[in-house]
């Protein structure tokens, strides 16, 4: 099968397309013929060599994790899936034509979802779910700020927060991204490049601050987040910011004044919650209330360019590769 291989750390070394043997499914595993692959900042950070998971890789490895496709064959003890099922999920090595996935971590893709939409769920939607439901404990009437509203996690977090009955604000960097977030249901957007986010949130909430911040660019924004949360607020640090990783100085007074809870999250730690979260997300998908937006579809051969595009931020929603 064709696969996109990473042979050393550093974005200056291009990934290469190679012919490698297709994997075979073991106990509780299925073999999926991949129809679409979600491009996430995670695999870019691992490839850069500065992600905690970079330490675990062995070269050469197949890049990527999120995919959607059709089950080709099933291993022993797989009961809930059969060949021909349309599925979404995550694995190690998704930039390829086939991958093996553990069956408890697979979801069935509703018939009216495209494979590109399905490949945009595993990391982005589960992370939005983790941030808003598990950590943020969002409830109807809460005010939520999504930092980076037009990105992979952000655009799904807007829809999820709306579905949960929250008042939703989102930060963006352009009018195009603002319109996109408003169409997804955000009540207001703030262009962080030209507006003062702390002042605008104060205006929008009559000085009370927001209940939850979903922070996808924590290196840039965490300091300000401590100025815009309300009493008993929750700040969920979903990400450092695509391609970023630098230390941040924080005011302990700002963190103490309103009893904030600050969470870090890692999609890897979600595994014990996955069966329940996947079941709940499956019913949300059936309701049609949450829909990934595909900003750009590219060919598997364009994997290097897809990483450049994600790093540039010049897309709406998700970038997807098609094998
Ligand atoms: N912890 C986890 O398990 C987990 C899971 C998923 C993602 N993440 C992390 O979360 C972050 C976002 O992931 P993603 O998939 O949503 O990435 P993405 O699709 O690349 O989107 C990032 C968005 O952030 C915006 N942005 C950049 N700098 C910003 C700033 N200073 N303030 C507000 N918005 C800003 C970008 O738009 P502009 O550049 O136009 O502003 C873009 O829309 C990444 O760091 C990723 O690694 C972590």
Q: pLDDT per residue over 70-83, tens digit each?
A: 999 999 999 999 99
Q: What pLDDT score does 197 carry?
A: 98
Token pair 């002042």 in the structure block, residue? 199
Nearest Cα residue to atom 48 of ligand 1: 239
Residue 238 has pLDDT above 90, yes or no: yes
For residue 313 and ligand 1, the question of a CB distance below 6 A is answered with yes
> Contacts by 1-5 with C-beta closer than 8 Å and gap 24+?
1/96, 1/97, 1/98, 2/96, 2/97, 2/300, 2/323, 3/62, 3/93, 3/95, 3/96, 3/97, 4/62, 4/63, 4/64, 4/95, 4/96, 4/300, 4/303, 5/60, 5/61, 5/62, 5/63
SS3 264: strand
Which pLDDT belongs to residue 275? 80
Beta-strand relationship, 106-108 and 86-90: antiparallel
Q: Which fold has domain 2-121+292-322?
A: Quinone Oxidoreductase; Chain A, domain 1 (3.90.180)
CB 170 near ligand 1, within 6 Å: no
Domain ranges of the chain: 2-121+292-322, 124-268
Task: Report the pLDDT averaged over residues 94-123.
Answer: 95
What pLDDT score was predicted for residue 277? 87
pLDDT score recorded for residue 267: 85
pLDDT at 294: 98
Distance 66 CA to ligand 1 centre (A): 16
Determine if ligand 1 sits within 6 Å of the CB of residue 266. Answer: yes
Indicate if the pLDDT at residue 202 is higher than 90: yes
Domain 124-268, CATH: 3.40.50.720
Instruction: Give 8-35 pLDDT, tens digit per residue.
Output: 999 999 999 999 999 999 999 999 999 9
Nearest residue (CA) to ligand 1, atom 2: 266
């Amino acid at each position: 099968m064709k696969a996109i291989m990473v042979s050393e750390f550093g974005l200056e070394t291009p990934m290469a397309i190679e012919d490698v043997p297709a994997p075979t499914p073991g106990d509780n595993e299925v073999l999926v013929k991949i129809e679409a692959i979600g491009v996430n900042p995670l695999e870019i950070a691992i490839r850069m060599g500065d992600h905690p998971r970079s330490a675990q890789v062995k070269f050469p490895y197949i890049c990527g994790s999120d995919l959607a496709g059709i089950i080709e064959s099933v291993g022993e003890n797989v009961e809930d899936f059969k060949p021909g099922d349309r599925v979404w999920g995550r694995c190690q090595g998704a930039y390829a034509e086939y991958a093996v996935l553990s069956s408890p971590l697979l979801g069935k893709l509703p018939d009216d979802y495209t494979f590109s939409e399905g490949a945009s769920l595993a990391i982005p939607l589960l992370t939005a779910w983790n941030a808003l439901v598990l950590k943020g404990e969002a409830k109807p009437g809460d005010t939520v700020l999504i930092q980076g509203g037009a990105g992979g996690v952000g655009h799904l977090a807007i829809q999820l927060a709306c579905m949960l009955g929250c008042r939703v604000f989102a930060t963006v960097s352009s009018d195009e991204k603002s319109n996109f977030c408003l169409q997804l249901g955000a009540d207001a957007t703030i262009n962080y490049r030209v507006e003062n986010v702390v002042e605008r949130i104060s205006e929008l909430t009559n000085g009370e601050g927001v209940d939850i911040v979903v922070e996808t660019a924590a290196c840039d924004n965490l300091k300000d987040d401590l100025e815009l949360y309300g009493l008993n607020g929750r700040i969920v640090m979903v990400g450092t910011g695509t391609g970023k990783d630098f230390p941040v100085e924080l005011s302990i007074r700002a963190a103490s004044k309103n009893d904030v809870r600050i969470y870090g999250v890692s999609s890897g730690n979600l595994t014990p919650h996955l069966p329940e979260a996947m079941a709940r997300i499956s019913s949300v998908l059936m309701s049609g209330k949450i829909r990934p937006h595909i900003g750009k579809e590219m060919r598997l051969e364009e994997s290097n360019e897809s990483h450049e595009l994600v790093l540039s931020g010049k897309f709406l929603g998700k970038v997807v590769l098609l094998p």
